[in-house]
Amino acid sequence: IVGSTNSVSAPTPQTVAPNVYTFESWSQGGAATQLVEAPAAPATYTASYTTSTPAPPTVSLTAPAGGATVSGTTAVSATADDDTGVAGVQFKLDGGNLGNEDTTAPYRVDWDTTTAANGSHTLSATARDTSGATTTSSPINVTVSNNRPPTAVASASVMAQ
């Protein structure tokens, strides 16, 4: 209807993973939300947005310390941060998953070291943010040293009579 006043809006920010779109301007100027008067002739109003890709998350292992000797049940923990939010942290042992992804801070998993062979192992953590970006921490090496009871070997001898 010619001469009617209408509200037009360019929602901001908008996210289409992994990009974030932020309102920049309208083709005719004005704020992101504004009132326009319907002209007699057809008109086009175009919103322009800038695009940015959020920074990937940061993640650091906090326990155990690199070079530590571990045994029994050992807490493996990490800190993670991100500008769009951390979705979860997956701990890794020698490149394979160690437990399930932890989706709530503080990020931690209890590691039953008796399931690993005695000797050197590598731990790391991979953080995933809400836009799907991931970062893996610097790995640390730990030594598993569990005292296992000696394996008994039974032997018997049979003599014929």
Region 116-125 average pLDDT? 98
Region 42-46 average pLDDT? 90
Q: What pLDDT score does 64 carry?
A: 98
Region 128-141 average pLDDT? 94
Report the distance separating Cα 85 and Cα 20, nearest Å.
Answer: 13
Cβ(124)–Cβ(47) under 8 Å?
no
Residue 156 pLDDT class (50, 70, 90 cuts): low
Q: What pLDDT score does 155 carry?
A: 55
pLDDT of residue 119 exceeding 90 = yes
Q: What pLDDT score does 91 carry?
A: 98
User: Model's pTM, two decimal places?
Assistant: 0.66
- Residue 14 token pair: 């908008």
pLDDT of residue 75 exceeding 70 = yes
C-alpha distances (whole Å) from 121 to each of 70, 106, 112 are 10, 23, 13
pLDDT of residue 99 exceeding 90 = yes
- The better pLDDT of the pair 157, 119 is held by 119
Region 86-104 average pLDDT? 98
Cβ(57)–Cβ(75) under 8 Å?
no
Region 111-121 average pLDDT? 97
C-alpha distances (whole Å) from 46 to each of 2, 4, 13, 16, 27 are 19, 19, 16, 19, 5
Average pLDDT, rounded, for the chain: 91
- The better pLDDT of the pair 99, 30 is held by 99
